[in-house]
Chains A and B, each alone.
Chain A
């Protein structure tokens, strides 16, 4: 049986970041979709659960921390791997999440912008094959 094309949802409010990331990911056989804020992201996840979510944190309407919180409390997508891609430094965002929720931030990878293209592809592939 032929292997299914992995479906990746990329969420960022910056259209230039989206285009840059898509340009990198398009070199692989992925099915890609984008959202510009957390609310739109949750709507799209309700329609189809991605194999991987690439998520910015500081966004309008609903921020990335909110998306993580909602996803982790929803059994249908509690296991979707999340790669956070943001300008916020990792320890600061983990601390903020813990302060707001009292829980550890359950994500699978964290990359500070800008990503190195080859490195990003490596990390994405690793999360998809897990």
Chain B
């Protein structure tokens, strides 16, 4: 590489988002293992999951970052654009982070000229020049944080739109089905009744599934805590049983309710708690044998409210228990039971946002190794946002009195 070429590359590196803070000496050294390349529209430059052997800094043009998206195991994978990279920006930062595998593909969307930095040489240079290494890593951390934030915002926005678009037609279908099943649109035969019931069940499942996927993005503890209010847990429990009623009837499963003598109000996210109970009940019904009993118990301890859901199903394999609350996890013995593996992980997130615990015991019955029991413990001393606000106000007033006194 001749001197003028090196100085051009050094200059471009100085203007880039990742090498901008480095000294001239570092830039000249790094330029020695860089070369320029030109790409045409449609060319794939870096491939997701391939070894990350170089980093690209865009000089001019535009690159798209793409991720493979595959819903379920059998659908065709598609590429979704997750961002664009223009002049001064870089792509392929995985080359700097272990295990050095690209996390996205990079595709050229218009004629583009890039500086390609040799990954192994760059890593080795940064290892022996820790100050430069630290600066590059700082720039990298800021960049990743920025990409992460914008990805979350896009996702939340996208999901709120998608969720409404998906839910509206389902609500209309379900409304018609309910109306017909209720006999409001004329008499129906037993066979039609059965088909309508099945349709409602399938549509309800689908609606819950959409809700789950959308919820996953909104499941941050502070968002759940913002909804804390006083509510009657008995009422919420009854609603959850109503949510699960059809699924239970379908398998002739009876839900045996064992409530405390009297329900007392607690603070929590009412709608979210209903989701926890409904998810656990549906889960129990899904894995319980036909004609069995699902137990739904509640009682108060001095500091916590306890709920239990127990089924008489085949239990959870011991090796699966520790993964139970992970997103998209499905136990190895679920067979054909429908679901995406989100119900329990959502319940877990909600209970955690309440500073509570969710415990699982399986098998419950040691003799024949059957049954699974989920126990939820919710503290009784949680506060609503309004209670927090009043406390802060009171503390401030107190401070003022002390100062004045």
Cβ contact within 8 Å between A118 and B182 = yes
Minimum distance in angstroms from A11 CB to a CB of chain B: 15
Interchain CA distance A19-B179 in the complex, whole Å = 10
A-B contact count (CB 8 A): 51
Cβ contact within 8 Å between B171 and A113 = yes
Cβ contact within 8 Å between A113 and B271 = no
Taking A87-B168, A117-B182 as contacts, is the C-beta distance between A20 and B175 under 8 angstroms? yes
Minimum distance in angstroms from A14 CB to a CB of chain B: 6
Interchain CA distance A103-B182 in the complex, whole Å = 38
The answer to whether the Cβ of A74 comes within 8 Å of any Cβ in the partner chain is no
Cβ contact within 8 Å between A89 and B271 = yes
In this complex, the interface size class of chain A, counting residues with CB under 8 Å from chain B, is 20 to 34
Q: Which of A14, A23, A24 contacts B172 (CB 8 A)?
A: A14
The answer to whether the Cβ of B167 comes within 8 Å of any Cβ in the partner chain is yes
The answer to whether the Cβ of A21 comes within 8 Å of any Cβ in the partner chain is yes
Minimum distance in angstroms from B59 CB to a CB of chain A: 45
Cβ contact within 8 Å between B271 and A90 = yes
Tell me the chain B residues, 299-343 only, with Cβ under 8 Å from chain A. Answer: none
> Most chain-A Cβ atoms within 10 A of its Cβ — which of B167, B175, B178?
B175
Cβ contact within 8 Å between A16 and B172 = yes
Interchain CA distance A20-B178 in the complex, whole Å = 9
The answer to whether the Cβ of A27 comes within 8 Å of any Cβ in the partner chain is yes
Contacts of B176 in A (CB 8 A): 16, 19-20
Q: Which of A27, A88, A90, A117 contacts B178 (CB 8 A)?
A: A117
Taking A16-B175, A116-B178 as contacts, is the C-beta distance between A87 and B164 under 8 angstroms? yes
Cβ contact within 8 Å between A87 and B179 = no
Contacts of A24 in B (CB 8 A): 179, 182, 184
Q: What is the size, in residues, of chain B's interface with A at 8 Å between Cβ atoms?
A: 16
Cβ contact within 8 Å between A91 and B171 = no
Cβ contact within 8 Å between A27 and B171 = no
Cβ contact within 8 Å between B171 and A114 = yes
The answer to whether the Cβ of B227 comes within 8 Å of any Cβ in the partner chain is yes
Mark each residue of chain A from 1 to 35: 1 if its CB lies under 8 Å from any CB of chain B, else 0. Answer: 00000000000001011011101100100000000
Minimum distance in angstroms from A23 CB to a CB of chain B: 5
The answer to whether the Cβ of B185 comes within 8 Å of any Cβ in the partner chain is yes
Interchain CA distance A117-B168 in the complex, whole Å = 17
The answer to whether the Cβ of A58 comes within 8 Å of any Cβ in the partner chain is yes
Cβ contact within 8 Å between B182 and A91 = no
Contacts of A58 in B (CB 8 A): 164
Interchain CA distance A23-B172 in the complex, whole Å = 13
Tell me the chain B residues, 175-197 only, with Cβ under 8 Å from chain A. Answer: 175-176, 178-179, 182, 184-185
Interchain CA distance A117-B176 in the complex, whole Å = 10
The answer to whether the Cβ of A115 comes within 8 Å of any Cβ in the partner chain is yes
Q: Which of B168, B174, B185 contacts A14 (CB 8 A)?
A: B168
Tell me the chain B residues, 118-146 only, with Cβ under 8 Å from chain A. Answer: none
Mark each residue of chain A from 84 to 126: 1 if its CB lies under 8 Å from any CB of chain B, else 0. Answer: 0001111100000000000000000000011111100000000
Interchain CA distance A14-B184 in the complex, whole Å = 19
Interchain CA distance A17-B179 in the complex, whole Å = 11
> Most chain-A Cβ atoms within 10 A of its Cβ — which of B173, B176, B178, B227?
B178
Minimum distance in angstroms from A124 CB to a CB of chain B: 13
Contacts of A14 in B (CB 8 A): 168, 171-172
Taking A89-B271, A91-B271 as contacts, is the C-beta distance between A17 and B171 under 8 angstroms? yes
Interchain CA distance A21-B185 in the complex, whole Å = 11
Contacts of B185 in A (CB 8 A): 23
Contacts of B184 in A (CB 8 A): 23-24, 27, 117
Interchain CA distance A27-B184 in the complex, whole Å = 7
Contacts of A118 in B (CB 8 A): 182
Minimum distance in angstroms from B282 CB to a CB of chain A: 18
Minimum distance in angstroms from A57 CB to a CB of chain B: 10
Taking A14-B172, A17-B172, A117-B184 as contacts, is the C-beta distance between A23 and B167 under 8 angstroms? no
Tell me the chain B residues, 156-173 only, with Cβ under 8 Å from chain A. Answer: 164, 167-168, 171-173
Could you list 22 A-B pairs, sorted by A, with CB under 8 Å?
A14-B171, A14-B172, A16-B176, A17-B171, A19-B176, A20-B175, A21-B175, A24-B179, A24-B184, A27-B184, A58-B164, A87-B168, A88-B164, A113-B167, A113-B174, A113-B175, A114-B171, A114-B172, A114-B174, A114-B175, A114-B178, A116-B178
Beyond contacts A20-B176, A115-B178: 16 other A-B pairs, Cβ-Cβ < 8 A, are A14-B168, A16-B173, A17-B171, A19-B176, A20-B172, A20-B175, A21-B175, A23-B179, A90-B271, A113-B175, A114-B172, A114-B174, A114-B178, A117-B182, A117-B184, A118-B182
Q: Which residues of B are at the interface with A, using a C-beta cutoff of 8 A?
A: 164, 167-168, 171-176, 178-179, 182, 184-185, 227, 271
| Closest A-B pairs by Cβ, 9 of them | A113-B171, A16-B172, A20-B175, A114-B175, A114-B174, A117-B182, A87-B167, A114-B171, A20-B179
